[in-house]
Chains A and B, each alone.
Chain A
Amino acid sequence: MEPAILPQAMIETVTRPGDWVIVLPIVLALMGAALALILRKAAGLGFVTALAVVAGIIACEISLLLTIMETGPVSMTMGKWLPPFGISFTADAFGASFALAASVVTFIVLLYAEADRPAASAGDGFHSLVLMLLCGVTGSFLTGDMFNLYVWFEVMLIASFGLLVIGGRPIQLDAAVKYGFLNFLATSIFLLSLGLLYGLLGTLNMADIMLVAPLANPAAMVGVAALMLLAFGMKAAAFPVNAWLPAAYHAPPAAISALMAGLLTKVGIYALLRTLVVVLPATRDVLEPVLVVLAVATLVIAPLGAIAETNLRRAIGFVVIGGIGAVLAGIAMPSLDGVGGAGLYIFHAMLTMTALYLVAGLIEKQTGEVDSRRMGGLYASSAPLSLLFLVLMLGAAGVPPLLGFWPKLLLIEAGLAEGNWSGGVLVAALLANAVLTMIAGSRLWAHIFWRNDFTPETTMVVTGPNRLHYLATGALTLMIVAAGLWPNPLFEAVRIGAGDMVDPARYSAAFGLAEVTP
């Protein structure tokens, strides 16, 4: 047997030392989670470990992002086996900046949660679960392999189950049952579509799929893509399959809700963006009418839910769902502006939705209530809180100087440039979403802060927020406002990231795949 029978299977060039930053965040998070588990009984050490690890991850991701901005997407293949055998980690500007946003959000939430946690809670594994969650999220953003994406989804899922039930109050168990079953079902459907994809193409590497997908049976590929749309739609809480989100996100403590709102649905919608726009563009064109309908329904119906809701954090949950509609609109319009708007919206939503939940937690702490009907008149006792909430709600609705405005601007430009009925409908839905979110936000603001006929019904002792709470929330809000006021670096990143998504030549060239596979 001569070795020449098999095609070239290994990458023979040496991995550049700089490429290691692409796997380092995941390695750090995994090791940090293990270390935090070992140190779980030592008061304070788990927190310090987690904070240090997340700071290290942020440093790695900043350096990764700088490399990508300079030289284009970075790829590293495990074991140097070429696809379809080796598992690749590939990051372009979008993946890396979302991973960066995820770790920044985690850093803030760790600070906030530390101010929150009672002294008796040491040993519940909170810090290692948070690091595992970050590991799964970062892995999903940086992976270049569909099956690996499934694995990171599951890592993320099991960590979020753990976070959701820490404490074990009945409401958390109830929420975790719904959250757990529906998300597990979604990943099963994703796995189903992966099996079919592998059967059709014989490869699961994203760059490799881009090369061979046009040769496969188009009808079967559309079936696979539709299954993926269902699976990722469930993960992202797109309109008809969103029921689990408002049922689950208000149950755990506010810090954990904030972390989940910032990270989980965004990973789902990012996976959809990556799969449909970059990996399987031909099937996206077939599914476009479905995407338009889903986007419009999600954009319009979700904020109506927020208006009808009295529980503060449940109402914010509906605002989170509405944001998913904006990203779906971007997926339905795969131009440079559309994809750029979708990407920027994910970035904005990761920061803003987390901050909103953190502020909601502060409000709940101040009033000792979760129901917005029984809060009220809070303005008198806490004016800064009212300002934070107002700014973030306006940001979520997309009012000009704030971060939420810029992605919507890009999306609306994309819709107008589309020049057909679907573009027009999407623009109308985006504007309707902004107005409805604004109504929902201002109603909540008025109920919580403005009404002055407030008489506390309960006499429970309220432990108000402390300085660390305000520091964490304020820092995040400041970041959002600053990013909104000086958006130019963001636009630069979006231009590069969306460019690589719309035309993924540089993405697949990062593998060195172009020369090897015909």
Chain B
Amino acid sequence: MDYVIAALVGCFVAMGIYMLLSRSLIRMLLGMVVLGNGVNLLIFTAGRLMRDVAPIVPKGLEQPAGPIANPLPQALILTAIVIGFAMFCFLLVLAYRAYQTLDADNTDTMRVAEPEHAPQPPLSY
């Protein structure tokens, strides 16, 4: 099972990187999301996968009875998902604003901050 999930992580990351290499902002954004999910899945897999055992102490006991799943990766992923989602939302709004203002979805044509043919500095005083 670990190997299947590991392969899935590989697919996610490869897909994310492929989409990040495109020039369209929305594609890059989707690539970011796919990559982020790949990373979250990787953390989950790295914490060792276990079947059918929740990391919860049963009622009336002080300690869990028997083996339990590792709760720490779940906490880590929860944090990462929340943060990643916030970032995604911000970048989505930003991409939309950029599309409205700059009339560009293509990163090649976004040259306001870096003009295309930058002037040479003066060669004498």
| Interface residues in chain A, defined as those with a beta carbon under 8 Å from any beta carbon in chain B | 1, 3, 5-6, 84-85, 147, 150-151, 154, 157-158, 161, 165, 168, 170-171, 173-178, 180-181, 184-185, 188, 191-192, 194-196, 198-200, 246-248, 250-251, 307-310, 371-373, 443, 446-447, 450-451
- Chain B residues, Cβ within 8 Å of A147: 76, 79
Return A448 CB to nearest CB of chain B, in Å.
11
- Does the CB pair B121–A170 fall under 8 Å? no
Return A416 CB to nearest CB of chain B, in Å.
35
- Does the CB pair B39–A188 fall under 8 Å? yes
CA distance A177 to B109 in the complex (A): 12
- Does the CB pair B46–A198 fall under 8 Å? yes
With a 10 A CB-CB cut-off, give which of A178, A185, A246 has the most chain B CB atoms: A185
- Does the CB pair A199–B46 fall under 8 Å? yes
- Chain B residues, Cβ within 8 Å of A196: 42, 46
> Quick one: which of B27-63 are within 8 Å of A by CB?
28, 32, 35-36, 39, 42-43, 45-47, 61-63
Partner of A177, one of B35, B43, B73, B94: B94
- Does the CB pair B61–A1 fall under 8 Å? yes
- Chain A residues, Cβ within 8 Å of B79: 147, 151
Return B103 CB to nearest CB of chain A, in Å.
10
- Chain A residues, Cβ within 8 Å of B86: 154, 158
- Does the CB pair B94–A161 fall under 8 Å? yes
Contacts A195-B42, A308-B121; is A85 near B47 (CB within 8 Å)? no
- Does the CB pair B46–A248 fall under 8 Å? no
Closest to B104 in A: A174
Partner of B63, one of A3, A185, A310: A3
Return A8 CB to nearest CB of chain B, in Å.
14
| Interface residues in chain B, defined as those with a beta carbon under 8 Å from any beta carbon in chain A | 13, 20, 25, 28, 32, 35-36, 39, 42-43, 45-47, 61-63, 65, 72-73, 76, 79-80, 83-84, 86-87, 90-91, 94-95, 97-98, 101-102, 107, 110-114, 118-122, 125
30 residue pairs of the A-B complex, CB under 8 angstroms, read: A1-B62, A1-B65, A3-B63, A147-B76, A151-B79, A158-B87, A171-B113, A173-B94, A174-B112, A174-B113, A175-B113, A176-B94, A176-B98, A184-B91, A185-B32, A188-B36, A191-B39, A191-B80, A192-B13, A195-B76, A200-B46, A246-B114, A247-B114, A248-B113, A307-B121, A308-B120, A309-B121, A310-B121, A310-B122, A443-B121
- Does the CB pair A373–B122 fall under 8 Å? yes
Contacts A181-B91, A194-B43, A195-B39; is A446 near B114 (CB within 8 Å)? no
- Does the CB pair A173–B76 fall under 8 Å? no
- Chain A residues, Cβ within 8 Å of B98: 173-174, 176-177
- Chain A residues, Cβ within 8 Å of B73: 198
CA distance A386 to B35 in the complex (A): 48
- Does the CB pair B87–A251 fall under 8 Å? no
- Does the CB pair B90–A161 fall under 8 Å? yes
- Does the CB pair B61–A447 fall under 8 Å? no
- Chain B residues, Cβ within 8 Å of A450: 125
Contacts A161-B94, A175-B113, A191-B43; is A447 near B32 (CB within 8 Å)? no
Contacts A173-B101, A177-B110, A195-B46; is A451 near B125 (CB within 8 Å)? yes
- Chain A residues, Cβ within 8 Å of B84: 188
CA distance A141 to B19 in the complex (A): 34
With a 10 A CB-CB cut-off, give which of A165, A171, A174, A251 has the most chain B CB atoms: A174
Return B74 CB to nearest CB of chain A, in Å.
12
Closest to A315 in B: B121
**Apart from A446-B125, A450-B125, what 9 extra A-B contacts exist at CB < 8 Å?**
A150-B80, A158-B87, A174-B113, A176-B98, A177-B98, A178-B107, A180-B90, A184-B91, A185-B20
CA distance A185 to B84 in the complex (A): 11
Partner of B95, one of A84, A177, A195: A177
- Chain A residues, Cβ within 8 Å of B13: 192
- Chain B residues, Cβ within 8 Å of A310: 118-122
Closest to B29 in A: A181
